Protein backbone atom coordinates (compact mmCIF):
# COMPACT_ATOMS: atom_id res chain seq x y z
CA UNK A 1 0.00 0.00 0.00
CA UNK A 2 1.40 3.35 -1.04
CA UNK A 3 0.09 5.82 1.55
CA UNK A 4 0.87 8.80 -0.69
CA UNK A 5 -1.88 7.73 -3.12
CA UNK A 6 -4.58 8.52 -0.52
CA UNK A 7 -5.75 12.04 0.38
CA UNK A 8 -4.21 13.60 3.50
CA UNK A 9 -6.40 14.48 6.49
CA UNK A 10 -5.91 16.49 9.67
CA UNK A 11 -6.35 14.35 12.79
CA UNK A 12 -6.62 15.28 16.45
CA UNK A 13 -5.03 12.33 18.25
CA UNK A 14 -3.37 11.31 21.49
CA UNK A 15 0.00 9.58 21.63
CA UNK A 16 0.19 7.41 24.73
CA UNK A 17 3.47 7.46 26.63
CA UNK A 18 2.73 4.83 29.29
CA UNK A 19 0.22 1.95 29.37
CA UNK A 20 -3.31 3.00 30.39
CA UNK A 21 -6.71 1.32 30.42
CA UNK A 22 -8.29 4.61 29.27
CA UNK A 23 -6.06 4.67 26.17
CA UNK A 24 -5.86 1.12 24.78
CA UNK A 25 -3.96 2.19 21.61
CA UNK A 26 -0.52 3.80 21.41
CA UNK A 27 -1.97 6.34 18.98
CA UNK A 28 -5.67 7.14 19.46
CA UNK A 29 -7.49 9.31 16.87
CA UNK A 30 -10.40 11.39 18.22
CA UNK A 31 -11.47 13.71 15.42
CA UNK A 32 -10.43 14.43 11.83
CA UNK A 33 -11.00 16.92 9.05
CA UNK A 34 -10.83 16.29 5.31
CA UNK A 35 -9.23 18.57 2.75
CA UNK A 36 -12.72 19.72 1.73
CA UNK A 37 -13.40 20.95 5.28
CA UNK A 38 -15.75 18.18 6.46
CA UNK A 39 -15.15 17.40 10.14
CA UNK A 40 -15.90 14.08 11.88
CA UNK A 41 -15.83 13.09 15.54
CA UNK A 42 -14.76 9.46 16.06
CA UNK A 43 -17.16 7.68 18.38
CA UNK A 44 -15.73 4.15 18.03
CA UNK A 45 -12.57 2.41 16.87
CA UNK A 46 -13.80 -0.89 15.43
CA UNK A 47 -10.51 -2.37 14.35
CA UNK A 48 -6.80 -1.62 14.56
CA UNK A 49 -3.61 -3.19 13.27
CA UNK A 50 -0.13 -2.05 12.37
CA UNK A 51 2.52 -3.28 9.98
CA UNK A 52 6.06 -2.44 9.09
CA UNK A 53 6.65 -0.28 5.99
CA UNK A 54 10.27 0.48 5.16
CA UNK A 55 11.94 1.93 8.24
CA UNK A 56 8.61 2.94 9.80
CA UNK A 57 5.15 1.60 10.53
CA UNK A 58 1.63 2.05 9.23
CA UNK A 59 -1.10 2.19 11.87
CA UNK A 60 -4.45 1.21 10.30
CA UNK A 61 -7.79 2.09 11.91
CA UNK A 62 -11.40 1.35 11.02
CA UNK A 63 -13.44 4.00 12.82
CA UNK A 64 -17.09 5.00 13.08
CA UNK A 65 -17.92 8.70 13.01
CA UNK A 66 -20.73 10.28 15.01
CA UNK A 67 -22.93 10.34 11.86
CA UNK A 68 -22.57 6.55 11.36
CA UNK A 69 -20.10 6.70 8.48
CA UNK A 70 -17.30 4.13 8.63
CA UNK A 71 -13.80 5.26 7.65
CA UNK A 72 -10.49 3.51 7.10
CA UNK A 73 -7.66 5.84 8.08
CA UNK A 74 -3.95 5.26 8.49
CA UNK A 75 -1.03 6.93 10.20
CA UNK A 76 2.32 6.65 8.39
CA UNK A 77 5.37 7.06 10.65
CA UNK A 78 7.66 7.45 7.62
CA UNK A 79 6.03 10.76 6.70
CA UNK A 80 4.30 11.43 10.04
CA UNK A 81 1.02 11.98 8.19
CA UNK A 82 -2.58 10.73 8.33
CA UNK A 83 -4.43 9.49 5.22
CA UNK A 84 -8.07 8.70 4.41
CA UNK A 85 -8.07 5.26 2.79
CA UNK A 86 -11.80 4.55 2.39
CA UNK A 87 -15.25 5.51 3.64
CA UNK A 88 -18.64 3.80 3.55
CA UNK A 89 -22.16 4.24 4.82
CA UNK A 90 -24.54 1.28 5.34
CA UNK A 91 -22.04 -1.05 3.66
CA UNK A 92 -21.88 1.07 0.48
CA UNK A 93 -18.62 2.72 -0.59
CA UNK A 94 -18.85 6.50 -0.89
CA UNK A 95 -16.80 8.05 -3.73
CA UNK A 96 -14.21 10.62 -2.58
Total number of domains constituting the chain: 1
Residue 89 confidence (pLDDT)? 79
Inter-residue contact 6 to 83 (CB < 8 Å): yes
**Gap between the Cα atoms of 38 and 50, Å rounded:** 26
Confidence of residue 5 (pLDDT cuts 50, 70, 90): confident
pTM: 0.87
Domain housing 52: 3-93
Strand partners, 94: none
Q: Of all helices (H) and strands (E), which one includes residue 73?
A: strand 70-76
Q: What is the mean pLDDT of the chain?
A: 91
Amino acid sequence: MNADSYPPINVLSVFRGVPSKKLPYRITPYRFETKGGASYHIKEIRQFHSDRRGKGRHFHYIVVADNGTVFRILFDTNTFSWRLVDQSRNGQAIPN
